[in-house]
Amino acid sequence: MSDAQGTPRPPNRGSLRLVLVADPGLPSEIARSLAPRLPGQLRRATGAAVRWEVDAVTVPLVADDQVDVSRIADMVSGHLEGMGWDIGIFITDLPRRARLYPVSVEVDTERRVALISLPALGSRRLRRRVRQAVVDIVRQMVSRERALEHPKVIGRPPREPAPGLGPQPRALRRYVVPGLRGHVRLISGMVRANRPWRLFGSLSRALAGVFATATILFINTATWNLATALSAWKQALITVVSALALSAWIIIDHRLWEHADELPARHHPLYPYNLVTLITVALAVAFLAAMLFVTLVAVSFLLLEPSVLRKFVGRPVVAGDYLFLCWFITSIAMIGGAFGTGLEGDEEVRDATYGRRQRERQRQLKERSARSEDGEED
C-alpha cells in the first residue's frame, strides 16, 4: 500500500495497481473511459502473470509547464493518500515543449510515475493514442524495456537537453514529437481543448446580433434581388471578407492577441498561443456560419413560396436561388455578429474562447506582470 505521502507501494507479484490521475474536463473523461478496458490490454502487453487494477482519479494538476513529473507527483500526493498504487500516470491538457518540440510524455522510472500531455498527441483518435501511450509507459516500468511499441504516438527522446525545463535526472525520460508532425499535433490538440464549436453558444449578444441581422435581411425584397443576381465568386469573396472581419474584430476588440512587450521577460508567447487563438476564432466563425446557413435554408424552403420570390427576381426560381439567398444573408449577418460581440465583456469572450488551461495560463501571466510592475515601482 502507499504511505501517507502518496508514494507507490512495493511491487506485489500477485497484482499491480495503476492509477490514472487526470485534469478535470477532457483528460478526466479519457481516463475514466480507458480505466475499465486497460487491465486486459496491460496483461497482454507486459506478459506478466499478474492481475491488473486500474483506477481513475480527477485532480487539478499544476498550471506551470516548466514543472517536471516528479514535482507534480509531490504536489498531488495529498489527493492519493490511502490509495495503494504501483504506477501513477498523470494526464493533462497542459501543452509542454522542449525548445520548439512538443513534449508528449515524461517518465520517472525510479518513482514509477509518468505524465502524458494531450496536446502533443493531437486531436484525432485521442483516446486510442492515450491508451497506446499508457501501454508503452507501463511496459517500460514493468519490463524495463526502452523500446517503444508505438513510437509514432509518443515520439522520441530529444537529442539535446532543453533549456528552461531544468536538469534532467537519470531516471527521468522525456519524449518529443519532432518535425512538422509534432507542430501540427500540438496546434490541433490545443485548438481542440479550446472547443471552438462552443464559442458563440456562450455569447448570447453575439448570437442575437447574427440572427437579428439575418431576420431583417431575410424579409427584405432588395436582398432577394441582390443575392440572386450576384455571381458565385462574388458571393465567395463577400463570405471570406465578412468572416475575416468578424474574426479580426473579436481578436482585436477583446485583446486576445498577445504581445511580447506586455508579458514577463523570457516568455515567448507568439508561438503557438497566438496561432491557436487565430485558428480557434476562425473555426468558431465557420461553425456559426454553417449553423446559420443550414437554418436559413430550412426556413427559406418552408416559408418562402417560389411564386413570391419569382415576382421580385423576374424569372423562374430554382433551388439554387434559395441557396444563393441563404449564402448571401449568412455572409452579411456575420457583420451583425461583430456588433454583438462588441457588447460582450472581455472576460466573457475569453472564457468562451479558451479552454481551462489557457485561461489559467493567462491568469498566471497577469499575476506575474502585476508583481513585476509592483517590483519596479518599489
List, as one string, the DSSP characters of 52-81. Answer: EEEEEEE------TT--HHHHHHHTGGGGT
- Reading the chain (378 residues) residue by residue, the pLDDT tens digits are 444 345 555 455 578 888 898 888 888 899 999 999 888 888 887 776 778 888 888 888 766 666 677 777 777 776 666 667 888 899 988 888 776 778 888 888 888 888 998 888 888 888 999 998 998 888 888 876 666 666 777 777 776 555 444 555 556 788 888 778 888 888 888 888 888 887 777 777 778 888 888 888 888 888 888 888 888 898 899 999 988 888 888 888 888 887 766 555 444 545 678 888 899 889 988 988 898 899 999 888 888 888 887 887 777 878 888 888 899 999 888 877 777 777 667 777 777 777 766 777 666 666 665 665 555 555
Model pLDDT, residue 65? 61
Model pLDDT, residue 293? 92
Model pLDDT, residue 165? 47
End-to-end CA distance of the chain: 51
Side-chain-facing half-sphere of 270: CA atoms under 13 Å: 5
Could you tell me if 238 and 328 are in contact, meaning their C-beta atoms sit under 8 angstroms apart? yes
Closest CA to 132 of 154, 107, 112: 154
Model pLDDT, residue 266? 47
Radius of gyration of the chain (CA): 26
The Cα 147–Cα 163 span in angstroms is 26
pTM metric for this prediction: 0.76
The Cα 254–Cα 31 span in angstroms is 35
What residues contact residue 173 under an 8 Å CB cut-off, 6+ apart?
A: 106, 107, 109, 140, 157
> Do strands 97-98 and 51-58 pair parallel, antiparallel, or not at all (unpaired)?
unpaired
